[in-house]
Amino acid sequence: MTDAEIDAAIASLRTACAMRDAGYSTPATDVTCALLLRCDRLANMVRELEMALRDLLVICRPGGERSDARRRYDAARAALAKAERR
């Protein structure tokens, strides 16, 4: 699937959500909107992963700005460990 096809599919999903919000609610538009919300959540997760990878690259780079990235990395690991204990 090309980027243009993906963009067209997302535009179609957004149109279905706009129709639902305008009062044209059907099972198909409801499912479509649920899919769009999941896509948005996945996109946010991908952005967070990209930021974490950039931080890791800074941590691993010789002579990089280690302190800020390392603090964020350590805080993220601590939060993850705390969440796993729950």
Task: Read off the amino acid at residue 61.
Answer: R
Burial class from Cβ neighbours inside 10 Å (0-12, 13-18, 19+) for residue 78 reads exposed
Q: Is 21 helix (H, G, I), strand (E, B) or coil?
A: helix
**How does residue 65 score in pLDDT terms, banded at 50, 70 and 90?**
low
The structure's pTM equals 0.46
* Residue-wise pLDDT tens digits, 8-56: 887 887 888 788 788 887 787 778 778 878 887 888 888 888 888 887 7
Q: Print the domain residue range for 15.
A: 3-85
**How does residue 66 score in pLDDT terms, banded at 50, 70 and 90?**
low
How many domains does the chain fold into?
Answer: 1
